[in-house]
Structure 1
Amino acid sequence: MTRRTELLNRSWKFAYGDPPGAVHSDFDDSRWFDVGLPHSFGIPYFMEGGFYVGKGVYRRTIHLGDDDVDRYVALEFHGVFQDAEVYVNGERAGRHLGGYTAFIVDISSLVRPGSNLIAVRVSNEWNPRLAPRAGEHVFNGGIYRDVSLIVAEQTRIAWYGTGISTTRVDGSDATVTVATELVNDSDLAFTGDLLAEVSLDETPVLTAEIPVTLAAGETRTFRQEITIPDVRLWHPDTPTLYRLDQALAGGSGPIDNTRTEFGVRTVEFTTDDGFFLNGRRLAIHGANVHQDHAGWSDAVTHAGIRRDVALIRECGMNFIRGSHYPHHEQFATECDRQGLLFWSELCFWGTGGDNVDGYWTASAYPPEPADRAEFEESCLQALSEMIRVNRNHPSIIAWSVGNEAFFTDDEVIPEAKKLTRRLVDLAHELDPTRPAAVGGAQRRGFDELGDIAGYNGDGASLFHAPPWPNIVSEYGCVMEDRPGVYGPRYSHGVEIEHRWRSGIALWCGFHHGSILPGMGSMGFIDYFRVPLRSWYWYRHALRGVDPPPWPVSGTATAIRLTADRTTIRTDGTDDAQLRVELLDETGRVVADDRPVTIDVVDGGGIFPTGTSIELSARNRGLLDGHGAIEFRSYYSGTNVLRAHADGLQPATLHVEATGGESWTGQDRRLSTGPPSLTHPPAGNVPKLLSADRPVFSSGYRSGSPASLVTDYRVDRGWVSDVDQPGTWAHVDLEAAWHADVVTAMFGAGIDVPFVIETSSGTGGGFTQVANGTTGRGSAVVVLGGRTVRAVRVVFPGSPAELIEVRVHGR
């Protein structure tokens, strides 16, 4: 017998909270919700600032044969946020801490022939000893990625035990090293062979074989060097993938088998000449991507991931930064297949503002000594898991060990930097073929700790020709909803190509949920995966594709309902994106934003809101005359969908679901959403919002950059590089806050006029809130809760030294 892998995404029961006895087989779960995986605590979720924080329990039955229980039996989880306890037949099988990486739980000793009850207790409560301690995303809990059952022999190839790396490319041939970890859990020694076949486009290229021996209870790694003739290198323009089929054979034949896709390519980041792929310079141009989708939150299908990658590819970009945590392995798989470079990032994450324990606004590194050892271990474990699962993907060109970890309490900045260096060293140890990057490294010397410095925000203007390889890992940061402005989001000269800069990445690709107000609305594609007009600008600039006609003002006379596919699988990996358009009598899309409701008239499929969903301006699902939503099913059969709106004839669409149990109108209990929401702590004391935030300026004198105005230091500040009217410095708070007070501090010298302005960041520009002269040394402006995204200080006459700009608010 060889290995069997079975998806377990269908037929789960779920309840919020932690009901006593829920892990036992005799527990009555008939009143629980019926859910399929992937699933999120937050469903339905539409970019609200609050989300459910607490516990939840999942239950499902699996069936095993008599032969299965004598073999190795395990459950594979691709992601559970963020504390998972797994039980089998009432007995605890294992626990995993960490919300973004895959893991496996050995249940061999707990299963029996016939029915077996699987129960998973999940918590997404903030944990001071678990990464991330901070971040601007939302942290919805749940089993939000796939789960599989694995049944294999006790002597087998280890879970993700095969690592393939390019050793040499020489002319038309390439040598790859295959390292395979074998496990022998049996009581007997094993002698056999490890067989390998490499294929390209289903055609065998070569075969190889090595003898292997394992003592009883031994785990050991075997290495093979394989030369691939007439190699076809992986490149975004030609994303060629090979397939490695391996079989572990004993005296009676094969006893285990695995399949691994891989690509052959070389990568190099240089200090003076940028990035090289396969020995040729390639300018990186891409976007940052969060994982969540409208309604479904983080519980995204493989089809949804495929569409995300395709949208970035379609606009002409060649790179995705997986911000700011390990993404589903399927994301790298799609980048491999579609031809995008991918930056895989760890969840060691900081975010600006006052650091407050108890929520995801805490210091990135723990200030409490008792929390540090476990926190560091959680980072090291997550990095190890990220690399093990993703190491064979040719699209991945760097392992990033975190993002903006400098948002750490001052007293533990040295410890945060030591941990960063530990993570870099571990990445080198686990994978010497890729560089280790530090994302968001524009403050406090974090940029010198890795092989590549990723500069966010004002880093693009602060760091020119630094003494190490570098990339602008974030630029842009424009808050917009559809339709948005047709134009680029370039800022601070990033559109100018410098040989020493490896590339640039837009913040960000998609709207996403965020605990910071307005922060989520910075995508050039919205939460429902409909592009804003800036996406069309990039597509035209990078690929020469003209934008479509924009919707015109008018009154709709018809609804058009379409889908990107009309046949879907029911195993939780597939869905259809439904598109709604409001048309006038000529068939043009018109900017008529009346709400449209889509109902499941017949069939077992669901929306995140159940069997009906409204797309409207209220949930931003229908804007500028068109909208979209993802539809999935866990039952086979025909789904009849009907879209209707006041005053318009309904439109009908059929979507066929295939595989699994047929829909016959079964009773099921669908959740209407979480029982409660937790919001970011507000408190009565205004918080300092501006510390270490990005600062931009009209120009600065050497040694006096604008970044000094948010660094807490009062010994020196920003000084303009020219002595002329109109110089300015602009503090970006990176989200829209309720600002109470702005304080500006000036250096000693001549008494000159200044103007203080604020912007809400919603496209309305800056508004003056104060003016005066610098002679007093400082200015305090009471704003009384005004919505502020940015603060600008302008010197309409002669410039002066600007020491600090401090913004307090909520």
Structure 2
Amino acid sequence: MNRKELINRNWKFTYGDPEGATLEAFDDSDWYDVGLPHSFGIPYFMETGFYVGRGVYRRTFELAEEETGKYVALEFHGVFQDAEITVNGVPVDRHLGGYTAFVVDVSEAVRPGTNQLAVRVSNEWNPRLAPRAGEHVFNGGIYRDVSLIIAERTRIAWYGTGVVTLGVGTDGAAVEVTTELVNETDAPFVGLLAAEVTGPGTRPVEAVASVNLPPRSTTVHRQRLVVEDVRLWHPDSPHLYTLEQTLRTSEGAECHRTGTEFGIRTFEFTATDGFHLNGERFAIHGANVHQDHAGWSDAVTHSGMRRDVALIKEAGMNFIRGSHYPHHDQFATECDRLGVLFWSEAPFWGIGGANTEGFWNASAYPPDEADQAEFEDSCLRAMAEMIRVNRNHPSIVAWSTGNEVFFSDEHVIPAAKKLTRRLVDLAHELDPTRPAAVGGAQRRGFDELGDLAGYNGDGGELYLNPPWPNIVSEYGSVVEDRPGSYTHRFRHGSENAYAWRSGVVLWCGFHHGSIVPDMGRMGFVDYYRLPLRSWYWYRHQLRGIAPPAWPELATATALKMTADRTVVLTDGTDDVQLVVEIVDDTGRVVADERPVRLEVVQGGGIFPTGTSIELNPDNKGLLDGRGAIEFRSYHAGPNRLRATAEGLAPSEITVEAVGPEPWTGQHRNFAPGPPSRVHLPDPLRPPQLSEMRPVFSSGARPDRPARLVTDHSVDHGWISATDDPGAWLSVELEGLWSITTIHVEFGVGPQVPYVIELSDGGRDLVPLAAGTTGSTTVRLDLDNTQARAVRVTFPQAPTEVINIRVHGH
């Protein structure tokens, strides 16, 4: 038997890293209730700052008695960026890298009945982990799906099947299937591997082969199949086939069954005649896409990915560059099904400007020799993990080594180029059927390192008729909000359809969060997934569809709310896009920008802000008479949603949520948002590190919680729950920072002794200062002392602590 079950529902989450949080007996009842996909940043609306630190996720899962002797694993499709997994209090694995899927074998840690899972997550910048730089935001969290996998000890390996087209002829298409088989038992395995291919317009193709697996072994088996009357995959006709494989014992008992979707096509990038698909020249016209949606940050559902691909396709484009990291496997699946070519990119990434160690505007390649070996390993690991999971997608036509890596310190450019070449060689080794591209290769000779050069910005006009296959991987870079201008975004020679150029790719498809002000406002679709007028220009030019009438100033008389679907699954893969319009008495959208409030009147569904949200011009959610937001539910049942605006009659819609656990008004503890946001460092001023950081304490009065000491907008603070000696509170700085000053402000009251200590993240505390509260404020000047936490302890009776301010970098 084998089973795969999504476990996106019913998670508990907290910011910070409470002591003992991975233990079974830990009480997480007051933690936030969340579902996956989830981001540290929720709700997030394109702020340049974002939460940097740690968070812990917990939930339980059930196993039957007969399942515990089998292979039991947890599949994570993406955790940014350092994940430590514990089951029943036992640490089982750690994964470094924020953009690739991984699987964790928990077979030896599980037991029959209820099992406790805990995942400690950090999104702290790591000089030895890719990416070291980038213009996106790097909100942490378990922001992609998690599944429980149960299989036999003898099985087909996780993503162990590869399908390659060997050739297409008059007799059909020859495909080779490679299958990685695992035998974890102490006995040899003798059995059969059956394969069946089904698809459009063809009879099923079947093959059966004998397999002999030694004890404790992994073996790769190869099978060759011929698909007759083949229908080739093409953006205009995205035909797909399904390979079903069954591993059986020699007696016929089924051990494992898997399904793999694939397509059959041929393609080639050339230096003289551009790109060819299925033997014919094909002009690429596409857009760059980040995985990042309004409110939900990078915690995007499958439905959200499908809408993104569909919007690019609907504009008349045929290509997406996955900027600038491996995307969810499901994103490529949507490209396969809708017919959009896809460029999949590893997270070796640079950003312009002054390089600063300690944040994501650092040198793309580490300047410190001590960091280089581990960093290179992280890049190579990401490339390998990206290819393994995505190799069967017909939409993918290139593996990219990264983006604008030339933004590295001058003395390490040779090393950065050498690593790029290593990534090219690894891509060739793992998948010789696709070219290894170098994205953003317009400086310092990076364009000559791979099979395909991607030129960004001015590269499209600087490099004319280069001696290798090439593409304009970014053009445009126009900062606009809706409604925007009805015109194209061609710049720097990108409008020229040279025969030697494979195509052009717009920067960018969608607004997204960025650490750089305005950098994210360059999409031709906005953050809420409503098109700007330039999107309509492209659709008109590429598909011949005239633009709609633009909203004009008129008297608004009503609200109109619609949804792209009225049924939604509760497993975390699905959501609904709600669109609200301000209309006149003829039903036409008018250029009115009064705020609109959406709320859940009945049901268990949520917006990124909870059970209600306001769309307005300030958050860009309501512009030019239209607004939108994505709505999801983790509980079954009807959801009655209402839109209201001053002076207008409300509009309602009902969305039915389908799945387990009906909504009965259960209590939920919603997170108000991240406790702090860190911005791009200001080199002229040591930043405030403690504002809105998580604070833990020995106990607090209900009306005076510990978090008040980092909420610097209030004039009162923490008061201990008791007057017992030893009361304490600790500010978690969510990163190892170099501290320059600490200010502790005490309340007015009797003088009491205090001790201030530092922690570097371990269990040991380092004494820093001691005294009595004779002065209301204590200031400590430090010489860039490194610490992750500041703790104040009262050896005798405690007193009020109003503020703890920590500065550093």
TM-score surpassing 0.5?
yes
2:690 is the alignment partner of 1:672: no
Letter in 1 for 2:244: D
Distance 1:674 1:685, change over 3 A: closer
Alpha-carbon displacement from aligned partner over 1:328-347 (angstroms, at most 9, x marks no partner): 00110000000000000010
SS of the counterpart of 1:111?
Answer: coil
Partner of 1:642: 642
SS of the counterpart of 1:70?
Answer: coil
After TM superposition, the structure 1 stretch with the greater mean CA deviation from structure 2, 646-655 or 37-46, is 646-655
CA distance in 1, matches of 2:446, 2:106: 42
CA contact (8 A) 1:475 1:506 kept: yes
CA distance in 2, matches of 1:587, 1:14: 44
CA distance in 1, matches of 2:382, 2:170: 38
SS of the counterpart of 2:136?
Answer: coil
Letter in 1 for 2:35: G
Letter in 2 for 1:171: T
CA distance in 1, matches of 2:271, 2:199: 35
Partner of 1:242: 241
CA contact (8 A) 1:193 1:248 kept: yes
Letter in 2 for 1:293: H
TM-score, scaled relative to structure 1: 0.84
Post-superposition offset of 1:685: 8.1
Partner of 2:22: 23
2:516 is the alignment partner of 1:526: no
Q: How does 1:270-669 map to 2 (within 5 A)?
A: 270-669=270-669
Partner of 1:144: 143
Stretches of structure 1 lacking an aligned partner (at least 5 in a row): 687-810
Partner of 1:702: none
CA distance in 2, matches of 1:172, 1:324: 40
CA contact (8 A) 2:605 2:611 kept: yes
CA distance in 1, matches of 2:409, 2:492: 29
Alpha-carbon displacement from aligned partner over 1:170-223 (angstroms, at most 9, x marks no partner): 124110110000000111110001000000149752110111011110001000
Q: How does 1:192-203 map to 2 (within 5 A)?
A: 192-201=191-200
CA distance in 2, matches of 1:204, 1:39: 43
CA contact (8 A) 1:554 1:590 kept: yes
Q: How does 1:203-214 map to 2 (within 5 A)?
A: 204-214=203-213
CA distance in 1, matches of 2:202, 2:461: 50
Post-superposition offset of 1:586: 1.9
SS of the counterpart of 2:426?
Answer: helix
Letter in 2 for 1:40: S
Partner of 2:753: none
CA distance in 2, matches of 1:492, 1:388: 36
CA distance in 1, matches of 2:499, 2:171: 29
CA distance in 2, matches of 1:342, 1:677: 33
SS of the counterpart of 1:579?
Answer: strand
SS of the counterpart of 1:649?
Answer: strand
Partner of 1:170: 169
CA distance in 2, matches of 1:24, 1:217: 32
SS of the counterpart of 1:330?
Answer: helix
Letter in 2 for 1:161: G
Letter in 2 for 1:574: D
Letter in 1 for 2:413: I
After TM superposition, the structure 1 stretch with the greater mean CA deviation from structure 2, 486-495 or 338-347, is 486-495
Letter in 2 for 1:121: R
Alpha-carbon displacement from aligned partner over 1:454-491 (angstroms, at most 9, x marks no partner): 00000001000000000000000000000000010011
SS of the counterpart of 1:52?
Answer: coil
Post-superposition offset of 1:558: 0.5
CA contact (8 A) 1:72 1:151 kept: yes
Partner of 2:126: 127
SS of the counterpart of 1:67?
Answer: helix
Partner of 1:44: 43
CA distance in 1, matches of 2:9, 2:262: 30
CA distance in 2, matches of 1:555, 1:106: 62
Letter in 1 for 2:52: V
CA distance in 1, matches of 2:90, 2:456: 47
Distance 1:634 1:506, change over 3 A: same
CA contact (8 A) 2:15 2:54 kept: yes
Letter in 1 for 2:113: G
Letter in 1 for 2:421: R
Letter in 1 for 2:607: F
CA contact (8 A) 2:202 2:230 kept: no
Alpha-carbon displacement from aligned partner over 1:31-62 (angstroms, at most 9, x marks no partner): 00000000000000000000000000000000
Post-superposition offset of 1:492: 2.2
CA contact (8 A) 2:570 2:658 kept: yes
CA distance in 2, matches of 1:279, 1:545: 29
Letter in 2 for 1:249: R
SS of the counterpart of 2:344?
Answer: strand
CA distance in 2, matches of 1:156, 1:436: 31
Partner of 1:109: 108
CA distance in 1, matches of 2:194, 2:252: 14
Q: Give the CA RMSD over aligned residues.
A: 1.0
Partner of 1:78: 77
Alpha-carbon displacement from aligned partner over 1:762-804 (angstroms, at most 9, x marks no partner): xxxxxxxxxxxxxxxxxxxxxxxxxxxxxxxxxxxxxxxxxxx
CA distance in 2, matches of 1:118, 1:99: 20
Post-superposition offset of 1:278: 1.0
Partner of 1:683: 683
CA contact (8 A) 2:574 2:632 kept: yes
CA contact (8 A) 2:202 2:227 kept: no
CA contact (8 A) 1:197 1:204 kept: no
Alpha-carbon displacement from aligned partner over 1:538-582 (angstroms, at most 9, x marks no partner): 000000001011001123110001100000000000000000000
CA distance in 1, matches of 2:99, 2:150: 24
SS of the counterpart of 1:179?
Answer: strand
Q: How does 1:209-228 map to 2 (within 5 A)?
A: 209-228=208-227
Distance 1:555 1:277, change over 3 A: same
SS of the counterpart of 1:594?
Answer: coil
Letter in 2 for 1:116: N
SS of the counterpart of 2:377?
Answer: helix
Letter in 2 for 1:605: G
CA distance in 2, matches of 1:403, 1:171: 40
CA distance in 2, matches of 1:332, 1:492: 30
After TM superposition, the structure 1 stretch with the greater mean CA deviation from structure 2, 332-341 or 245-254, is 245-254
CA contact (8 A) 1:158 1:181 kept: yes
Identity %: 69
CA distance in 2, matches of 1:320, 1:488: 18
CA distance in 1, matches of 2:684, 2:23: 45
Stretches of structure 2 lacking an aligned partner (at least 5 in a row): 687-809
Post-superposition offset of 1:493: 2.6
Q: How does 1:773-788 map to 2 (within 5 A)?
A: none
Alpha-carbon displacement from aligned partner over 1:686-707 (angstroms, at most 9, x marks no partner): 9xxxxxxxxxxxxxxxxxxxxx
Q: How does 1:697-712 map to 2 (within 5 A)?
A: none
Post-superposition offset of 1:598: 0.3
SS of the counterpart of 2:571?
Answer: coil
Distance 1:425 1:269, change over 3 A: same
Partner of 1:786: none
CA contact (8 A) 1:14 1:33 kept: yes
CA distance in 1, matches of 2:180, 2:683: 52
Letter in 2 for 1:245: E
Q: How does 1:735-754 map to 2 (within 5 A)?
A: none
Post-superposition offset of 1:409: 0.1
CA contact (8 A) 1:272 1:500 kept: yes
